[in-house]
């Protein structure tokens, strides 16, 4: 069983399509919950990683796209 981990992606609005591309490419391995942050031009996305596929998606996207990744401690 894969250890469950929760993250928050902080991404520039201009990069959202790239993230969606990789999410679809990896066959939608996890839920993406889009949130509107208080900072204009940015989007926050909550991600729960529960499978190897979801971890692979997140690692690959982080390598290819410029975004910040935070551990969600809630």
For the stretch 39-62, pLDDT in tens is 999 999 999 999 999 999 999 999
Those residues with Cβ within 8 angstroms of residue 4's Cβ, 6 or more apart along the chain or in another chain: 48, 49, 50
The tokens describing 63, both together, are: 């390598």
pLDDT for res 37: 81
Among 45, 41, 40, which residue's Cα sits nearest to residue 58?
45
Task: Label residue 26 exposed, middle or buried (CB < 10 Å: 0-12, 13-18, 19+).
Answer: middle
Please list the alpha-helical segments (H only) found in 16-66. 16-25, 52-64
The CATH number of residue 15's host domain is 3.30.70.120
Mean of all residue pLDDT scores within the chain: 94
Host domain of residue 32: 5-71
């Amino acid at each position: 069983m894969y250890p469950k981990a929760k993250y928050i992606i902080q991404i520039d609005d201009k990069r959202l399509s790239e993230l969606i591309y990789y999410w679809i490419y990896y066959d939608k391995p996890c839920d993406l919950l889009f949130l509107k942050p208080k900072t204009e031009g940015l989007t926050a996305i909550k991600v729960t990683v529960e499978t190897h596929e979801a971890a692979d998606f997140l690692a690959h996207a982080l390598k290819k796209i410029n975004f910040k990744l935070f551990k969600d401690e809630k």
